[in-house]
Amino acid sequence: MTRNPVIKVRNLVKKFGSFVANDNLSFEVYEGEIFGFLGANGAGKTTAIRILTGLSEPTSGEVMVAGFDARRQPEEIKKNIGYMCQKFSLYDDLTIRENIMLYGGIYGLGKALIRERTNQLLDRLNFREYGDRLISSLPLGLKQKLAFSVAVFHEPRIVFLDEPTGGVDPITRRQFWEMIYETASRGITVFVTTHYMDEAEYCDRVSIMSEGRIVAIDTPAELKKQYDAESVEEVFVKIARPGMKHGKESETADNKREA
């Protein structure tokens, strides 16, 4: 894998009044990788994503996304990223084709190109005949897959997925992750937050946030080794437990071994 960073964050701080939502974050995400962004609710994930997607300005620090400064060029960033949030994001009263036409148009793609890619997409998902059906008539799993396809329809450099598999059955989740892999193999970086720790195992690298800070960042295998854990879930629970929070990884691991 090329180690070419598409997201560079240095000393990012975001404050709301006296509340520090992001406390000195520094990390990099590399091109074509699947980066899992984990953390308990209220750990500051959403704030960080809002800054990375140009929705919110950092209080201080340096944030580069797809080669653009999040503070000065948020509009450029927006052209180069895709986004899918936990709430379902297609329009229920529009057909599949109309939805795609809308989002494709918003990202500046020409009509002919949109039509061509729409046909390819529908073929790939095996629902060409549903193209003119209203979104509201589709099952949730299909909608979710479609929303993801629409998020990467304009071939962005990075796609942000904010808890994309919430409320979806295990089989669809699996198919969904196959789509994520396929997307990453095309060179699109995937930045994903999730509550399902088994999904974290599928990521190339994960970071774990707690109380506004990144307390661990590495490959799932390396993290499990460091924390002497069976799964990422165990790692997560150990980190999130009070009294063992910041920067004591090796100690904690050693203590555990001695015991």
Partner 1 sequence: MKRFLGFVRKEFIHIFRDVRTLTILFGLPAVMIILFGYVVSTDLKNASLAFLDLSKDDVSIELTDKICSSGFFEKTADLSGYQDIDRILRSGKAKAVIIFGEDFGRDLEAGKNARVSIIADGSEPNIATLVTNYATAIISGFNQQLLLAGQVSVPVIVPEVSMFYNPSLKSQFMFVPGVITMIMILICALMTSITLTREKEFGTMEVLLVSPLKPVHIILGKVIPYFFLSFVNVVTILVLSRLVFGMPVNGSPILLLAECMLYILLSLSIGILISALAKTMQQAIFISLVGMMLPTVLLSGFIFPIENMPKVYNWLSAILPPRYFIVIIKNIMIKGTGFAHVWKETLILAFMTVILIGLAIKKFRIRLQ
Stretch that binds partner 1, among 87-95, 176-184, 190-198, 212-220 (CB under 8 A): 87-95
Contacts of 93 (CB under 8 A, 6+ apart): 134, 135, 136
Cα distances (Å, whole numbers) of residue 208 to 70, 89, 180, 211, 229 = 22, 26, 20, 10, 15
Answer yes or no whether residue 190 interacts with partner 1 by CB under 8 A: no
The binder of partner 1 chosen from 106, 112, 171, 259 (CB under 8 A):
106
Answer yes or no whether residue 13 interacts with partner 1 by CB under 8 A: no
The binder of partner 1 chosen from 69, 92, 116, 182 (CB under 8 A):
92
Residues 112-171 that bind partner 1 (CB under 8 A): 160
The binder of partner 1 chosen from 6, 38, 65, 85 (CB under 8 A):
85
- Closer residue to partner 1, CB minimum distance, 107 or 234: 107
CB of 30 to partner 1, least distance (A): 22
Residue with tokens 């989002």: 103
- Closer residue to partner 1, CB minimum distance, 134 or 253: 134
Q: Which of 29, 108, 107 is nearest to 66 (CA)?
A: 29
Q: Which of 149, 164, 160, 155 is nearest to 97 (CA)?
A: 149
Distance CA 165, CA 15 (A): 29
For residues 39 to 78, the per-residue mask of contacts with partner 1, x marking binding by CB under 8 A and - elsewhere, is --------------xxxxx-----------------x--x
Contact criterion met (CB below 8 Å) for 205 and 197:
no
Q: Which two tokens stand for residue 2?
A: 């090329």
**Which residues contact partner 1 (rule: CB under 8 A)?**
53-57, 75, 78-79, 81, 83-94, 98, 101-103, 105-108, 160
